[in-house]
Amino acid sequence: MAYIDGFVLAVPTARKDDYRKHSSNAVKFFKEFGATRQVEAWGDDVPAGKVTDFQRSVKAKPDETIVFSWLEYPDKATRDAANKKMMNDPRMKEMGNNMPFDGQRMIFAGFTPINDSGKASKSGYIDGCVTPVPASHKDAYRERADKFAAILKEYGATRTVDAWGDDVPDGKVTDYKGAVQAKPDEKIVYSWVEWPSKEAREAGWKKAMEDPRMKGMEMPFDGQRMIYGGFAPLLDQ
């Protein structure tokens, strides 16, 4: 089964090109150790929330932009082996010393997909979400995700992924649990929707929200603590 390393970080807006270059150099490194895809998506439509939001999740400053990023691996064993090798590779240390953002505020974790619907391809726009879900509601969440995916693909989405928290570390400054104020009995879900363009995303969501199937769909989690936003791909390889 595939495995996902999911990241959220705050990058100085003025350093967008530096971040793009940094990511372009990193993708060759990650693929050398088994990653099959790296996506870096730049915040475009990232709203402030009443309880939680992406900005607060990484303590973003006014002059910073949120980046939603992930690595795809063929399975957890490949990912674990890759991380072990990379931590002992001097190139990793060099990249760490030259990051165009504050790495201490980056949040990251490993996730196992429980819904992966559609075809992975270079997308034109991405909806990214992080959600706290009661561990006991995993099956209910999966069932909802399958129905949700079918509707969004009907209205133009090319792929939807929902990945269940597996290796979610506590952080010293920020972490996924704090990002969504997760309770002890909750798991973190990292999810995204891929669209061919921003225009397709906006049209698709409008149709989906008017669909009676959406209105009757219950959320097996606290929607007020879910964080979400729209992102424009910077890199997709």
What is the distance between the alpha carbons of residues 217 and 235, in angstroms, rounded to a whole number?
34
Domain membership of residue 45 as a residue range: 3-236
178's tokens? 């704090």
Burial class of residue 48 (count of CB atoms within 10 Å of its CB; 0-12, 13-18, 19+): exposed
CATH of the domain at 48: 3.30.70.100
The pLDDT of residue 202 is above 90: yes
Sign of CA dihedral 28, 29, 34, 40: negative
What is the distance between the alpha carbons of residues 235 and 112, in angstroms, rounded to a whole number?
22
Count of domains forming the chain = 1
- Of 37, 15, 215, the residue nearest 126 (C-alpha): 37
What is the distance between the alpha carbons of residues 206 and 202, in angstroms, rounded to a whole number?
6
pLDDT at residue 216, as a whole number: 80
Residues in a beta bridge with 190: 130, 163
Which amino acid makes up residue 146? D
176's tokens? 């996924």
Mean pLDDT of the chain: 96
Strands 227-236 and 107-118, how do they pair?
A: unpaired
Burial class of residue 45 (count of CB atoms within 10 Å of its CB; 0-12, 13-18, 19+): middle
pLDDT at residue 163, as a whole number: 98
The pLDDT of residue 230 is above 90: yes
Give the pLDDT confidence of 82-92 residue by residue, as tens digits. Answer: 999 998 999 88
Q: Look at the block and give the residue holding tokens 């010293």.
A: 172
The pLDDT of residue 67 is above 90: yes
pLDDT at residue 120, as a whole number: 80
pLDDT at residue 41, as a whole number: 98
Give the pLDDT confidence of 143-160 residue by residue, as tens digits. Answer: 999 999 999 999 999 999
Give the pLDDT confidence of 157-184 residue by residue, as tens digits. Answer: 999 999 999 999 999 999 999 999 999 9
The pLDDT of residue 7 is above 90: yes
Average pLDDT over residues 9-14: 98
